[in-house]
């Protein structure tokens, strides 16, 4: 019996190591190699289609005026730009501020009831007229050329959606610095994915979509992952545009980051039963490969890590070299704990900042999975400020 348990634990640990190794190292390296070896053609051009610019808002009185001034200042023909603030039944002074911009062509849309971010957009889009839909958050400040940079990609008929790049202001907190390290890894990978294949997610703060690719999504899901799926089902691709940026503030407190990531994780797991039946109908097969390799395997990394810890603990009882896997996992956990302690004390976490953010993400994936399995769904919207 003990021998069988040891064999099972060793096999489980090996399988977890292979899958995690592919998710965190193998796939990123493969993506970079494919981007060099088989780049996919892209033909952008200076076009000026009509654009409907949707700003998602919920109680954004403090920032909405600045956002509207930023949007009105974008370098794009004003007669071809429709600006709509889609307010999810805000209860502060957001509506009054937006109505103050009515003479400058800004329109306020307020649905009946509290529908959440996705539900509000589902209701707002049919009231717009642009050939291209741009989705933005109230806190994201665009560079002046952002709209032109986004829409030029739609000159290529193979492009269905475009995501811009989110830039962050980072303070000296451990959470912010750890997130900065995370971004330094993620952004080059996203660029490479766009070169050889497609993006499997877009930024809620800055992305654009062909009107004909828009489809209402269940309110508990996020357009960040639904839009690339709809585009892939139509045989088009989602590309990454470095020239379109949205500036946001990075979170400083680990508890705020964790709370936000848990909500995102619940939405991710809610997406899985929506995604899987549609994958066989995806006309862009590269999307299928990427979403399985990157998204699904990445989301499964938390339960895989939990399985690895249990397996390593069982094997450690045998002593010798079997202590090594548990020591490696324990060292990673200790680094994350030191990062958390530095964050609580308001100190610089140095190299432990990255470990803190990695652990925050993985724990959020695990907690989000547990909550989703218990029936939690997040259709409502409460932005972290």
**pLDDT confidence tier of residue 5, bands split at 50, 70 and 90:** confident
Mean pLDDT of 289-317: 93
The pLDDT, as a whole number, for residue 348 is 76
| pLDDT value at 146 more than 70 | yes
Domain of 74: which CATH number? 3.90.550.10
The pLDDT, as a whole number, for residue 170 is 85
Report how far apart the first and last C-alpha atoms of the chain are (Å, whole number): 54
**pLDDT confidence tier of residue 1, bands split at 50, 70 and 90:** low
User: Token digits for 236?
Assistant: 């088009």
Kindly tell me the burial class for residue 155, based on how many C-beta atoms sit within 10 Å of its own C-beta (0-12, 13-18, 19 or more). Answer: middle
The pLDDT, as a whole number, for residue 284 is 93
C-alpha distance from residue 113 to each of 23, 32, 123, 381 (Å): 41, 46, 11, 12
The pLDDT, as a whole number, for residue 381 is 58
Cβ atoms of 140 and 205 within 8 Å: the answer is yes
Cβ atoms of 54 and 134 within 8 Å: the answer is yes
Task: Collect all residues with Cβ–Cβ distance below 8 Å to 159 and sequence separation of at least 6.
Answer: 42, 153, 236, 237, 238, 239
Cβ atoms of 215 and 230 within 8 Å: the answer is yes
Number of domains in the chain: 1
Name the residue range of residue 257's domain.
1-385
To the question of pTM greater than 0.85 for the whole model, the response is yes
The pLDDT, as a whole number, for residue 250 is 83
The pLDDT, as a whole number, for residue 312 is 92
Q: Which pLDDT tens digit goes with each residue over 364-381?
A: 999 999 999 999 887 665
**pLDDT confidence tier of residue 174, bands split at 50, 70 and 90:** confident
| pLDDT value at 80 more than 60 | yes
The pLDDT, as a whole number, for residue 220 is 94
Q: Which residue has the tokens 């409502």?
A: 380
Beta bridge partners of 169: 249
Name the percent of the chain lying above pLDDT 70: 98
The pLDDT, as a whole number, for residue 321 is 82
DSSP of 249-305, one letter per residue? EPP--HHHHHHHHHHHHHHHHHHHHHHGGGGGG-S-HHHHHHIIIIIIHHHTHHHHH
Cα 292 from Cα 272, distance rounded (Å): 11
The pLDDT, as a whole number, for residue 379 is 65
Q: Which pLDDT tens digit goes with each residue over 34-63?
A: 999 999 999 999 999 999 999 999 999 999
Long-range pairs for 20-28: beta carbons < 8 A, 24 or more residues apart: 20/301, 20/304, 20/305, 20/308, 22/293, 22/297, 23/293, 23/294, 23/297, 23/298, 23/301, 24/301, 27/293, 27/294, 27/297, 28/185, 28/189
Q: Which pLDDT tens digit goes with each residue over 95-140?
A: 999 999 999 999 999 998 889 999 999 999 999 999 999 999 999 9
Quick one: residue 170, left, alpha or beta (phi over 0 = left, psi -120 to 50 = alpha)?
beta
**pLDDT confidence tier of residue 3, bands split at 50, 70 and 90:** confident
C-alpha distance from residue 117 to each of 65, 113, 231, 260 (Å): 19, 12, 20, 15
Kindly tell me the burial class for residue 25, based on how many C-beta atoms sit within 10 Å of its own C-beta (0-12, 13-18, 19 or more). Answer: exposed
Task: Collect all residues with Cβ–Cβ distance below 8 Å to 324 and sequence separation of at least 6.
Answer: none
Cα 294 from Cα 200, distance rounded (Å): 8
How confident is the prediction for the chain on average, in pLDDT? 92
The DSSP element (H or E) to which 161 belongs, if any, is: strand 159-169
**pLDDT confidence tier of residue 383, bands split at 50, 70 and 90:** low
φ, ψ (nearest 5 deg) of residue 381: -135, 120
| pLDDT value at 33 more than 80 | yes
> Helix count (H) and strand count (E) of the chain?
14, 8
Q: Which pLDDT tens digit goes with each residue over 213-253?
A: 999 999 999 999 999 999 999 999 999 999 999 999 888 78
Q: Which pLDDT tens digit goes with each residue over 249-269?
A: 888 788 888 888 999 999 999
**pLDDT confidence tier of residue 85, bands split at 50, 70 and 90:** very high
């Amino acid at each position: 019996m003990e021998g069988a348990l040891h064999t099972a634990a060793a096999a489980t640990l090996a399988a977890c190591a292979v899958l995690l190794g592919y998710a965190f190292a193998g796939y990123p390296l493969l993506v970079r190699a494919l981007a060099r070896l088989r780049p996919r053609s892209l033909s952008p051009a200076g076009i000026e289609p009509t654009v409907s610019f949707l700003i998602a808002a919920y109680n954004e009185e403090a920032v909405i005026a600045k956002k509207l001034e930023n949007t009105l200042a974008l370098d794009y023909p004003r007669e071809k730009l429709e600006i709509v603030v889609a307010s999810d039944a805000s209860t502060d002074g957001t509506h009054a501020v937006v109505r103050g911009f009515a003479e400058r062509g800004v329109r306020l849309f307020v649905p009946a009831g509290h529908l959440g971010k996705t539900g509000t957009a589902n209701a707002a889009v049919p009231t717009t007229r642009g050939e291209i839909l741009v989705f933005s958050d109230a806190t994201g400040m665009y560079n002046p050329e952002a709209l032109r940079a986004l829409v030029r990609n739609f000159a290529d008929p193979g492009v269905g959606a475009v995501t811009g790049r989110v830039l962050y202001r980072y303070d000296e907190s451990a959470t912010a610095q750890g997130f900065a390290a995370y971004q330094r890894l993620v952004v080059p990978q996203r660029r490479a994915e766009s070169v050889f294949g497609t993006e499997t997610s877009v930024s809620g703060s800055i992305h654009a979509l062909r009107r004909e690719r828009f489809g209402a999504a269940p309110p508990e899901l996020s357009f960040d992952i639904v839009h690339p799926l709809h585009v892939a089902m139509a045989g088009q691709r989602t590309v990454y545009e470095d020239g379109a940026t949205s500036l946001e503030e990075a979170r400083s407190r680990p508890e705020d980051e964790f709370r936000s990531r848990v909500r995102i994780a619940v939405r991710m797991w809610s997406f899985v039963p929506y995604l899987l039946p549609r994958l066989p109908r995806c006309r862009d097969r590269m999307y299928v490969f990427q979403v399985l390799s990157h998204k699904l395997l990445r989301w499964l990394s938390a339960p895989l890590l939990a399985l690895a810890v249990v397996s390593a603990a069982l094997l450690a009882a045998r002593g010798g070299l079997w202590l090594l896997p548990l020591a490696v996992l324990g060292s990673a956990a200790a680094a994350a704990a030191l990062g958390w302690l530095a964050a609580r004390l308001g100190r610089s976490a140095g190299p432990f900042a990255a470990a803190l953010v990695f652990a925050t993400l993985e724990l959020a994936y695990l907690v989000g999975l547990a909550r989703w399995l218990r029936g939690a769904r997040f259709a409502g919207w409460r932005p972290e400020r």
